[in-house]
Amino acid sequence: MHPFALSRADDLAKAIAAHAMDGQVAFIAGGTDLLGLMKDRAALPERLLDINGLPDLARIEALPDGGLRIGALARMSEVAADMEVRRRFPVIAESLLFAASGQLRNMASIGGNLMQRTRCAYFRDDDAPPCNKRSPGSGCSARHGLNRNHAILGWSDACVATNPSDVAVAFAALDAIVHVRGLSGERSISFADFHRLPDSAPERDTVLGRGDLIVAVEVPARAEGRASHYLKVRDRESYEFALVSVAAAVAVDGKHIRSARLAMGGVAHKPWRLAAAESALRGVPLDDVDVLSAAIAQSFADARPLAHNRFKVELAKRAALRALQVAGGRK
Ligand SMILES: Cc1cc2nc3c(=O)[nH]c(=O)nc-3n(C[C@H](O)[C@H](O)[C@H](O)COP(=O)(O)OP(=O)(O)OC[C@H]3O[C@@H](n4cnc5c(N)ncnc54)[C@H](O)[C@@H]3O)c2cc1C
Ligand code: SF4
């Protein structure tokens, strides 16, 4: 095991300064991803700064306007069980309940979940095969290797990995806002801009830099919030990452869709919003499967499956249709 020093932070500003000034410091919350990465030698920080003692970061607040503010240190299990989360945004609670295992959800924080790294097996292999995310410039073993679990949209030759977070897909569909504290104060990042596509720098998963600490995620009130659903398709029903997943939320007028929100996991380096489908679904009857399917297909016109994951294109379309129908049934 890689040796490291552990200290506990009790002051937000000091924790941020320590992280900004020392490239060997890593924040640790639940440790459920970071410690695995250290065992796989995919992350080798010399100093871990435990942020669990920082005040006021674990609160889950139901905002008076119908939105939510979820502290970065709130545990996945607490958020999934919160009555207001379940009532206002079932898609968030479901995305968390389908993620990891009970024990992991008790430890794992929302901030850590958004920062978790890809499950690409080459990236996590401690024999360190070529991987641009782990070792920039070394190549991508998955591009022409085993890529069944990899991306079908938005990938580059430098990296074809997918983002593994489930709750990030729900946050993307709902246009959540990530509140980040850095050396120059607090800033808000729209969820669409938080995670990155790989382009030529796949080693960077998000737009955060040194000294940036997620303090909370805010979910604004949404007309589509209550009629929402998270559907996850995976290789086994006990804990497993998504092959594809869908967060769907709709507002309806009678039988017709007034507005729809759709985001997918397991298909790209970041949660993938189905923008073309959302536009095409406006005014469509919820029970017209052919028209719904045609609208969803518009978001896959640019899909570029790899050698082993062509099946994901059809699976993703069917999953999106099913999630939309279940969400619509909750109106
Ligand atoms: C077996 C297994 C199965 C899993 N299955 C799923 C699944 O199906 N779906 C899913 O979504 N996830 C799954 N996970 C991942 C799990 O949800 C994450 O490991 C967890 O959410 C990470 O949270 P943490 O608090 O433990 O983060 P840590 O491991 O403590 O930290 C992870 C990263 O986030 C950084 N970090 C932590 N908090 C902050 C903050 N506030 N601001 C900035 N950076 C921060 C750390 O520095 C580190 O880089 C699984 C994990 C395991 C081990
Ligand atoms: S897909 Fe990305 S993470 Fe996986 S081997 Fe290629 S560069 Fe590494």
Please state the atom number of ligand 2 nearest to the C-alpha of residue 160: 1
Residues 6+ apart with CB under 8 A from 80: 86, 93, 96, 97, 105
The DSSP 8-state label assigned to residue 298 in this structure reads G
Determine if ligand 1 sits within 6 Å of the CB of residue 115. yes
Determine if ligand 2 sits within 6 Å of the CB of residue 155. no
Which residues of the chain, if any, have pLDDT below 50? none
Q: How far is the CA of 33 from the centre of ligand 1 (A)?
A: 5
Please state the atom number of ligand 2 nearest to the C-alpha of residue 161: 1
Determine if ligand 1 sits within 6 Å of the CB of residue 95. no
For the entire predicted model, the pTM comes to 0.98
Determine if ligand 2 sits within 6 Å of the CB of residue 306. no
Q: Which of 104, 110, 210 to mutate to test ligand 1, by most ligand atoms within 8 A of the CB atom?
A: 104
**pLDDT given at position 237:** 86
Please state the atom number of ligand 1 nearest to the C-alpha of residue 105: 17
What token pair was written down for 180? 């980040």
* Residues shown for the chain: 331
**pLDDT given at position 330:** 87
Q: Chain centroid to CA 35: how far?
A: 19
Please state the atom number of ligand 2 nearest to the C-alpha of residue 132: 7
**pLDDT given at position 7:** 98
Q: How far is the CA of 162 from the centre of ligand 2 (A)?
A: 9
Please state the atom number of ligand 2 nearest to the C-alpha of residue 147: 1
Q: Which of 37, 40, 119, 120 to mutate to test ligand 2, by most ligand atoms within 8 A of the CB atom?
A: 120
Amino acid of residue 125: D
**pLDDT given at position 11:** 97
**pLDDT given at position 1:** 72
Determine if ligand 2 sits within 6 Å of the CB of residue 131. yes
Determine if ligand 2 sits within 6 Å of the CB of residue 118. yes
How many CB atoms neighbour CB 251 within 10 A? 17
Helices 311-328 + 289-297 axis angle, to 10: 130
Q: 197 with 233: CB under 8 angstroms?
A: no
**pLDDT given at position 239:** 87
Positive or negative, the CA dihedral 257, 261, 267, 268 is: positive
Determine if ligand 1 sits within 6 Å of the CB of residue 113. yes
**pLDDT given at position 238:** 85
Q: How far is the CA of 132 from the centre of ligand 1 (A)?
A: 21
**Which CA distances in Å does 29 have to 85, 98, 111, 212, 297?**
22, 21, 8, 14, 39
The rounded distance, in Å, linking the Cα atoms of 264 and 236 is: 19
**pLDDT given at position 300:** 98
